[in-house]
Structure 1
């Protein structure tokens, strides 16, 4: 396996984990939680988000690092197709949304015990996850055009 192929495999694996995790959180987990009582729902969110954000803290930098490394091996942005430019831009926006989520509503969610505030923070997290899910799916479609 070449260096480029290894970088691409790691890049794609991390992207699948991130976008797949967003899809799971938004489409599967949240609607399913309506079946349990609010205190247990908050406890489950606490556990799920702790693990999810830990995974993304590893996947996101690896996506950025491998993306730039592959770009360097291909000769830089001047030689890159428009899809690469779009993926880079969308990926950086996704990273910014992730950081805003983590240091904003997720941090507030972790630090409060008031259920009303927790619910408000969960709603903010849900909306930001939705934004990142849309950006991630657009990025996947663009990657498929390469």
Structure 2
């Protein structure tokens, strides 16, 4: 069980921590220092590097989470409400990420390749809003997952 919990925590830290850094540190600096063409190219490359880690985090979170639920606790009916809530919010986060990855992120890369900075800016803005939602959900999941058993 310690391996599963460790993998679960590492995956959550990578995903949520990456969003926290990108949204609250990188975004304001990039917006202040870079003109739209460079800013859009920067974000396209940042997402190119970060999103494979999110995919890996999703696989680890699902694998380790279900391993803990079923192999350790014996199923969904044996875990507390906080685990159900953590799973639900995690699945919502994954759905939002899938949308980001297959829709605005793909279109952002296409706009950057065409040097269509207006379209790219619109897609980046859409991604920004969705990542803000996912960041809030991720922080809630962390609170529920770590403190929910005590509520």
Q: CA RMSD in A?
A: 0.8
Answering whether residue 19 of structure 2 is matched by residue 22 of structure 1, we say yes
Asked if 1:136 is matched to 2:133, the reply is no
Separation in 2, partners of 1:25, 1:93: 20
- Normalised to the residue count of structure 1, the TM-score between the two structures is 0.95
CA displacement at 1:57 relative to structure 2: 1.1
Alignment partner of 1:13 is 2:10: yes
Q: Structure 2 length normalisation: TM-score?
A: 0.92
Q: Could you list the runs of 4 or more consecutive aligned residues of structure 1 that deviate by over 2 angstroms after TM superposition?
A: none
Kindly tell me the number of residue pairs found equivalent between the two proteins.
143
Which region of structure 1 is more displaced relative to structure 2, 136-145 or 36-45? 36-45
Where structure 1 has 5 or more consecutive residues not aligned to the other structure, the ranges are none
**How far apart in 2 are the matches of 1:38 and 1:123?**
12
How far apart, CA to CA, are the structure 2 residues paired with 1:121 and 1:37? Answer: 16
Answer yes or no: is the 8 Å Cα contact 2:100–2:127 preserved in 1: yes
Q: 2:89 matched to which residue of 1? A: 90
Separation (CA, whole Å) in 1 of partners of 2:44 and 2:106: 11
